[in-house]
Amino acid sequence: MISGWSQSEVFCRARVAGKCKSVTQQSLTLVRDVVRTGGGRCWGGVVLAVAAAASEGVGTFMLPSFLRMAGALDPQGTGASLRMVGHAVNLETILLGYVLLVAVVGGLLYVHALVSTSLMLRYGRALRMRVHAAVMSMRWAAVIRYRSADFTHAMTLEVGQCSFAVRLFLGLLAHMIYVPVLLSAAVALSLSFTLVVLALFVGLAVVMLPLVRRAHGLAEGAVHANRALHAEVADELAGLRSLKILRAEALRGQVFQSRVERQVSLQFSQAAAMAGASQVQRFLIAGVVAFGVWAGRSMLDVSVPELLALVLLYGRTMMVASRLQEQWRQIMRILPTHAALECLLEECRAEAEPVAAVEAPSLQRELRLSGVSYRLQDGAAAILSDIDVRIPAFSVTALVGPSGAGKSMLADLVMGLIEPSVGSVSIDGRELDGGLRMAWRSRVGYVPQEAFLFHDTLRANLLLARPDARDADLWRVLTLAAADGFVRALPGGLDARLGDRGGSLSGGERQRIVLSRALLSEPDLLILDEATSALDVSMERQILETLSTLRGRMTVLLITHRDAALVHADHVIRLEAGRVISGPNNRESDDGAA
């Protein structure tokens, strides 16, 4: 954490400040994103918005006709009919046309609502998939710099907010078209009065601009406060067991309370700014209308009937403008969220892994680490230093050392999850670099100390390793991992649901399921990272004896601190403080080859 923010939030704030310097730029970015994603549907929504606004505008132009028919604009009562295109049109005809026009407008608005909803859902789905794909393709060394809750919050709540902006933009467009139609009707009645009112509204917009900018700034702060609170909740739920054991619920409650209070404070400030801007705007609009009526009567000598028609037109204009303003205010709240998402996408794509090679290397002789050092980032202390070691193929190699010696980091290098800062990792002389490192991971099976299972069926968890596997294949690896007995006893067997993170199983059962999954892919290299730590002595012995039978069929790297496991190893590599103090090294391999 840096000054109360996660590292990813600091990155996002820097990106938003550096690359999205104005509301206009953020708006254009969102519009371009929507148009690029929506394609023809987006333009269809625009056409429908224009058609609906134009149709509704025709009804507005009918207003003066209604008033004339009622005598409001014709005090002398020149007749109860109008002449249009050389033909007399009575009030009944106009009313019938108005009703039909309302039906047409209603139909257009209905189709527009369906198209805008479809576009909103389509954009939300596409944006969510883009974020998901970007996160999934990141280098592991970059992933661990973020909080997982940052990604969760982005792919759920923030994407949902951004997708709603699509509907707001289409509605905004319709109202932006409708306002000129209304103003055109006003111009037809009195050009001078309309120019005066427009000048007053330009001044109103200038006065409102600072208030709108302040509300936008508060909205940006609320985005990061919401993300931080979501991350806090996710962390606490993940560590709830530890919190209860430590009796630290109250302490974490204080941290959580501070997060909530910060979020509430920002939301309140944002709401106050928006409400204040709305009421100031309402007051100023009332003043503009009042001054316009006074000016029209006293200075422009507009007749009372015309003034009545103009007031009705501007009343309608104010309603449309109010909706337009409300939609714009909502968009202003969403723009910082979209900017943060764009920032996250940019960061993830910058850390993307290379495309995997077409063919994965096959381990037939040995895996080598030559002069390997690894540090998390430039300037940080090295976790591993000057590693020169080999892992002979088709053998069982044990990797031992005290906690913090760098065993798991060495395993990450061996399986191609990370790349060395210095030196190289090679398979039978082929250096694992770029796409080849990605492809190599398909030939590696890994069983971590903390076995993770998805909240799904046992079958679905196993098939992650090999989607085309048959039931016979599943039972074979379950038997190898000594898991077939308890799996058959589960309600549903292979189709039993395992609960959150496999919570319906014991720790030892989860490890055996994960071992089964690793064996299912028939890997060249099988890595067990303290994978027997949750097993009792007899079960551990059974698993280790099973692994011994794999000698000659696959290469096994056994990371352990138990001396009992060393009995089954052909080679032992000892690590201490990030350095190899004994084990089969490259020089020994070269001498043997000679």
Decide which of 43 and 494 is more confident. 494
Which has more pLDDT, 407 or 502?
Answer: 407
312 and 393 housed in the same domain: no
Q: Is 537 found in the same domain as 435?
A: yes
For residue 441, give the nearest of 530, 353, 548 by alpha carbon: 353
More confident position, 20 or 198: 198
Do the Cβ atoms of 123 and 163 come closer than 8 Å? yes
Q: Three-class SS of residue 353?
A: coil
Position 535 confidence tier, pLDDT thresholds 50, 70, 90: low
Q: Is residue 1 part of a domain?
A: no
Higher pLDDT, 91 or 387: 387
Over 50: is that where the pLDDT of 8 sits?
no
Position 220 scores a pLDDT of: 63
The first and second tokens of residue 312, run together, are 């009705």
Strand partners, 89: 82
The residue out of 305, 325, 350 marking a domain boundary is 350
Q: Determine the pLDDT at residue 143.
A: 84
What is the pLDDT confidence band of residue 144, given thresholds at 50, 70 and 90?
A: confident
- Mind listing the pLDDT tens digit for each residue in 175-214? 777 777 667 767 766 677 677 666 766 776 676 667 666 6
pLDDT at position 427: 92
User: Which tokens is 301 given?
Assistant: 């000598």
What does the pLDDT average to over 557-575?
81
| Cβ neighbours, 10 Å, residue 587 | 10
Same domain, yes or no, for 423 and 556? yes
| Burial environment of residue 56 by CB neighbours within 10 A (0 to 12, 13 to 18, 19 or more) | buried
If pLDDT is split at 50, 70 and 90, which confidence band does 302 have? Answer: low
Please tell me whether residues 340 and 290 are part of one structural domain.
Answer: yes
Most confident of 286-290, 536-540, 551-555: 551-555
Mean pLDDT of the 549-575 span: 81
**Domain residue limits at 531:** 366-593
pLDDT category of residue 119 using cuts at 50, 70 and 90? confident
What is residue 294's predicted lDDT score, i.e. its pLDDT?
A: 73
Within this chain, do residues 290 and 240 fall inside the same structural domain, yes or no?
Answer: yes
Same domain for 442 and 317, yes or no, is no
- Strand ranges of the sheet holding 422-427, from the earlier edge strand across to the other edge: 384-392, 366-374, 422-427, 430-431
More confident call, 94 vs 523: 523
What was the pLDDT predicted at 54? 66
**Is residue 482 classed as helix, strand or coil in its secondary structure?**
coil
CB 540 within 8 A of CB 532: yes
- Both 370 and 297 in one domain: the answer is no
User: What's the CATH code of the domain at 492?
Assistant: 3.40.50.300
Q: Does residue 474 register a pLDDT over 90?
A: yes
Q: What gap in Å lies between CA 421 and CA 328, rounded to an integer? A: 49
Q: How far apart are CA 285 and CA 303, in angstroms?
A: 22
Q: Do 346 and 372 reside in the same domain of the chain?
A: no
Average pLDDT, the chain: 75
Distance CA 397, CA 558 (A): 6
The residue with greater pLDDT, 78 or 47, is 47
Span 73-117, pLDDT tens digits: 454 444 444 444 445 556 666 667 667 777 777 777 777 778 878
Determine, yes or no, domain membership for 451.
Answer: yes
Highest mean pLDDT among 37-41, 303-307, 355-359: 355-359
**249 shares a domain with 375:** no
Q: Is residue 255 part of a domain?
A: yes
Q: What is the percent of the chain where pLDDT is above 90?
A: 7
Percent above pLDDT 70 for the chain: 66
Using pLDDT thresholds of 50, 70 and 90, give the confidence band for residue 475.
very high
Structural domains of the chain, count: 2
* 72, pLDDT greater than 80: no
**For 554, what's the count of Cα atoms within 13 Å in the CB-facing half-sphere?**
23
Distance, CA of 326 to chain centre: 26
Q: What digits encode the pLDDT tens for the residues 211-248?
A: 666 666 666 666 667 666 766 666 666 666 556 555 66
Please report the sign of the dihedral spanned by the C-alpha atoms of residue 451, residue 455, residue 456, residue 457: positive
Q: Which residues, at least 6 apart from 49, have a Cβ–Cβ distance to it below 8 Å? A: 112, 170, 171, 173, 174, 177
Identify the top-confidence range among 111-115, 354-358, 369-373: 369-373
Residue 594 confidence (pLDDT): 32
